[in-house]
Chains A and B, each alone.
Chain A
């Protein structure tokens, strides 16, 4: 039976397994609403979502295709602004910042892993991993990138271009890229969606390993129940609401 959480996730987390005990949540959303102007009129994806996650925790968001998971993730990461509500990331109210200020906030602090990998085709594996570090002007970017690639098992693929790598290898490069700046929080949108089952499982293992090593907060969108199970918290997005349990 679905139970609607009237409470915010952070409070609910107390009943979840193995919660860490940080003081302030690193990410907190209140009254999030997202509406789009479509040819058929205004569409409301969700009207009032509340969510909170403490530093070091991991949260999985599940839902059917088209339920709005990616949109929600984008709002939480500050890639877009909600129609209503607030998102506070690392004590900054994202809705009060303009696009560039949000970018500055993201740089070095937020990591991403995407379903479509999104490596820059013109750059080698090494250069792709260096990119976020160069944006925050890190003198040791190259060495760090090398280490990061070694960490994901691609020490011998530094000079390869994305097109020369398999899907799983590309996603591992993306993982190395996500972790190179040691971000406080990592957003992943269906990171295994484009991979076969076995490769996907390897990526997830690597993701949780890195998460554990760096103590990164993890917000993960997936529709794989098994993946979700490995997170501290799980939320289901359905009909514009967040639920704690599957339907």
Chain B
């Protein structure tokens, strides 16, 4: 209780405000991220069961045989069929690419469908599915087509009436497929659309629900009978991709939060040092009066615990607000209601507060227990007490521990820790070079003339600390704000202006000439590529199974059908890096050319024999070359190319791509009207969506960077507090010597400008440097080193430090010289 009372006094005396603020900022960063991650993850988990709309699902490239459904029902399982495919629907002169989904009675077996009777009307749970001859459309799609409930639209050869607005569908899923708006109709109408031709991209599914063991027995039996042709899905798998992304994002944000904790930790180290210095005499008095070292320690630990309790709660409150803000920023990406916030992050917040205080503050404060009682008689005793490096070592250890906890991986921890330490080291070295250089220079050129430099150069150490701390905060901000934009535009600059932005896929062989004619009439000359969708069934005669691969990507490739093509001429954006191209010979022997990264992923090399199967037929050929592909050309490219004739046994469709300067829906409309199964893909909107995802994601990270900057400003204020007495004295002395207040303030201002400009300049330099490295290493982009970032950085830093410094140091320069001198 004494500790609490003393803490309250310290607080009232303004002694601990910065310390507490630093803890609040650190806790806010950590809890904000914890809450965000918690709720997004919990939201995903809660949906996992519904994500499949079933307990198990069987996907099959062809319509589900009736026999399967009968067997499942005989075994006591509930069943439902779905068929999903991209197609274009027409309404009047409007047309839109939609993701159509045909469902039959019983769907969804898990979760619920929600619909509105009309646009804007209240949403309620759907009883059943769309009646035959009707469709439910997302309201977005209704808007795009200019339709209302009761209107009609054409899908393939079928006309459907809009019966309701579809507002929620449990197994909507993620990925590009889900970017197109949904149209849902009755499975009984599927045949009549005439969209089920060979090579069409329909995903047929049999949904199963019931006793889990029965469902598993049934799917195992199907898998045994049909091998790789059927794909069994369980709820976990549906959520796995999302969970992985969330996990990575959580780790990244966690590390970003940790950066804030580290910078705030520096503020704690500085303020607590200042605070402890002022406590030495008091502790000596207590010790003289008979307080033991344990009592002294108990007192300070008590103070820290109370402080941690309050600051932790305040920080958690701020963190909560922060996560609400971040959720709002990514609302579009989440799209669903999230479960209410849990209380665990509050605990995390207190643990963080505890770690920050015990790790950064206690080592310094605990030195006080050795305050010599003799100090009550001789003021100079014990002044050296706090001059020890141990607290720094403890702080480094605590930081490392927190990182290990956050990253959960020693290698990642070591590299992040190494990166942080070396960035700090470089920043410190450069800052020290500049500050000490300026000091030496000002000494040499005469003190009097450069009087204005004294504040900066008389306290070189605190100047360096301020520069580094503010620099780290600004650097993370710049890296995210400036460099991200540059990276995006660098990426976009790589895309040639006339890169294809429209794709037409799903063109049947007998439609190629017609489509080509329509495009030529519109002035578009383009190339058509054959495309075969097939599964890789054997490698060198041995069956391929997903379980043979470790990486999730390779497993996916092994399981899915993918696209093959053939050609006699190599495109200019392809380079043979191993083996020989088959050339333009009229009928070369069957052989394959594989893209290098893909080959590596699935473990294929020159000379291997691959077997591909589709529609019950298969083809085997030898890999005779490996290719490198420049994907950024945006041309159509394939992982696996075959020599002409090799794939003749397999069903194929055609696709083409071209650049449409203005999205001229006229041509596309005509094509789609004449050939309803042809599917157009407009890449410009995909690019826009990718950009939205990056923008929203990074605005969350930007918030975190702002917090880091706030911590950096706290360090600045802490350093100001430490030098406060000195400033007060200097100012009093100068005033007594006849300097005017404006002159003294001008000196201080110059000091802040210098600190800010150097910190900001260094931060800008470091950020653009990091941008170059990131661009080269991670994205393989040519990213120009931007010296202008240095100038922008210097300006931002100057203003930030100027404002913070003017606020923080104001009181040191205000009082009259008399009062200042009396206060000593």
Check if B9 sits within 8 Å of A123, measured CB to CB: yes
User: Which residue on chain B has the smallest CB distance to residue A177?
Assistant: B289
Cross-interface CB contact of A104 among B13, B290, B373, cutoff 8 Å: B290
**Is B376 close to A, CB under 8 A?**
yes
CA distance A35 to B472 in the complex (A): 50
Check if A103 sits within 8 Å of B10, measured CB to CB: no
With A122-B6, A131-B286, A134-B2 known as contacts, the answer to whether A70 contacts B292 (CB < 8 A) is no
**Is A136 close to B, CB under 8 A?**
yes
**Is B519 close to A, CB under 8 A?**
no
Check if B282 sits within 8 Å of A120, measured CB to CB: yes
**Is A145 close to B, CB under 8 A?**
no
Chain A residues whose C-beta falls within 8 Å of the C-beta of B2 in the assembled complex: 134
Check if B290 sits within 8 Å of A127, measured CB to CB: no
Chain A residues whose C-beta falls within 8 Å of the C-beta of B377 in the assembled complex: 70-71, 73-74, 79, 114, 189
Check if B289 sits within 8 Å of A106, measured CB to CB: yes
A193 to chain B, nearest CB (A): 12
Cross-interface CB contact of B285 among A100, A108, A110, A118, cutoff 8 Å: A118
Check if B289 sits within 8 Å of A132, measured CB to CB: yes
Interface centre among B282, B288, B293, B374 (most CB of A within 10 A): B288
Give residues of chain A (82-97) contacting chain B, Cβ–Cβ below 8 Å: none
With A99-B293, A100-B293, A114-B377 known as contacts, the answer to whether A120 contacts B285 (CB < 8 A) is yes
**Is B372 close to A, CB under 8 A?**
yes
Q: How large is the interface on B (under 10, 10 to 19, 20 to 34, 35 or more residues)?
A: 20 to 34
User: Which residue on chain A has the smallest CB distance to residue B284?
Assistant: A118
A138 to chain B, nearest CB (A): 12
Give residues of chain A (44-91) contacting chain B, Cβ–Cβ below 8 Å: 70-71, 73-74, 77, 79-80
Interface centre among B9, B13, B288, B377 (most CB of A within 10 A): B377
B204 to chain A, nearest CB (A): 77
B414 to chain A, nearest CB (A): 42
CA distance A219 to B450 in the complex (A): 55
**Is A107 close to B, CB under 8 A?**
yes
With A79-B374, A80-B374, A120-B282 known as contacts, the answer to whether A127 contacts B289 (CB < 8 A) is no
B767 to chain A, nearest CB (A): 43
User: Which residue on chain A has the smallest CB distance to residue B282?
Assistant: A120
User: Which residue on chain B has the smallest CB distance to residue A122?
Assistant: B9
Total chain A interface residues with beta-carbon distance under 8 A: 32
With A74-B377, A79-B376, A112-B376 known as contacts, the answer to whether A103 contacts B291 (CB < 8 A) is yes
**Is A158 close to B, CB under 8 A?**
no
Check if A136 sits within 8 Å of B288, measured CB to CB: no
CA distance A77 to B376 in the complex (A): 12
Chain A residues whose C-beta falls within 8 Å of the C-beta of B294 in the assembled complex: 100
**Is B476 close to A, CB under 8 A?**
no
Chain B residues whose C-beta falls within 8 Å of the C-beta of A132 in the assembled complex: 289-290
Give residues of chain B (251-301) contacting chain A, Cβ–Cβ below 8 Å: 281-282, 285-295
Check if B290 sits within 8 Å of A110, measured CB to CB: yes
Check if A103 sits within 8 Å of B282, measured CB to CB: no
**Is A135 close to B, CB under 8 A?**
yes
**Is A153 close to B, CB under 8 A?**
no
With A121-B13, A136-B290 known as contacts, the answer to whether A79 contacts B285 (CB < 8 A) is no
Check if B289 sits within 8 Å of A100, measured CB to CB: no
Show 13 A/B contacts (Cβ-Cβ < 8 Å), sorted by A.
A71-B377, A74-B374, A100-B294, A106-B290, A110-B289, A110-B290, A112-B288, A123-B9, A127-B5, A132-B290, A134-B2, A135-B289, A136-B290
What is A's interface to B at a CB cutoff of 8 Å?
A: 70-71, 73-74, 77, 79-80, 99-100, 103-110, 112, 114, 116, 118, 120-123, 127, 131-132, 134-136, 189
Top 6 closest pairs, chain A to chain B, by CB: A107-B290, A122-B9, A106-B290, A70-B377, A79-B373, A80-B374
What is B's interface to A at a CB cutoff of 8 Å?
A: 2, 5-6, 9-10, 12-13, 15, 281-282, 285-295, 372-374, 376-379
